[in-house]
Amino acid sequence: MQSGFEVVQSWLEVVQSGLELVQSKLEAAQFRLEVAQSRLEAAQSLYEVAQFCLGVAQSLYEAAQFCLGAPQFHIEAAQSRIRVAQFHIEAAQSRLRVAQFQVEAVQSHHEVMQSYLRECDPTQS
């Protein structure tokens, strides 16, 4: 039969093991948060590049319209580049929304893990 001290010691080992697991999950959540933030930054960069491409395409379109006697082909090509640039902007916006959602989800999970860790470890205040 175990003494009260041995029971408490066993319980403390279980609690310590649980705290280590929570800490591990917290570190994993932190890593996912960093990955999501990196994806968000990449999506923002792609969005900026797509906006720049749209500006270039619009400038080409305006130049083609300005030039008297410019073949219709150049105008249509510029319009096509504008449509492609707009598609890239929409795709970048979609990736940006996904990355923002991932950041929010990981941040929420991170907060829950921190709260749980504070509740389980009375030494942390």
Residue 9 token pair: 């010691």
Distance between CA 106 and CA 33 in Å, rounded?
5
pLDDT in tens, 58-114: 998 888 777 756 677 778 888 999 999 899 999 989 998 988 999 898 899 999 888
Q: Could you tell me if residue 17 is inside a domain?
A: no
Q: Could you tell me if residue 44 is inside a domain?
A: yes
- Mean pLDDT (the chain, rounded): 87
Is pTM, for the whole model, over 0.75? no
Residue-level pLDDT at 116: 83
Q: Check if the beta carbon of residue 105 is closer than 8 Å to that of residue 115.
A: no
Q: Could you tell me if residue 26 is inside a domain?
A: no
Q: Could you tell me if residue 112 is inside a domain?
A: yes
Residue-level pLDDT at 100: 92
Residue 124 token pair: 């942390």
Residue-level pLDDT at 7: 85
Distance between CA 22 and CA 105 in Å, rounded?
17
CA distance to 57, 63, 68, 71, 89, per residue, from 75 (Å): 10, 9, 12, 7, 21
Which domain does 108 fall in, by range?
A: 36-125
Q: Please count the structural domains in the chain.
A: 1
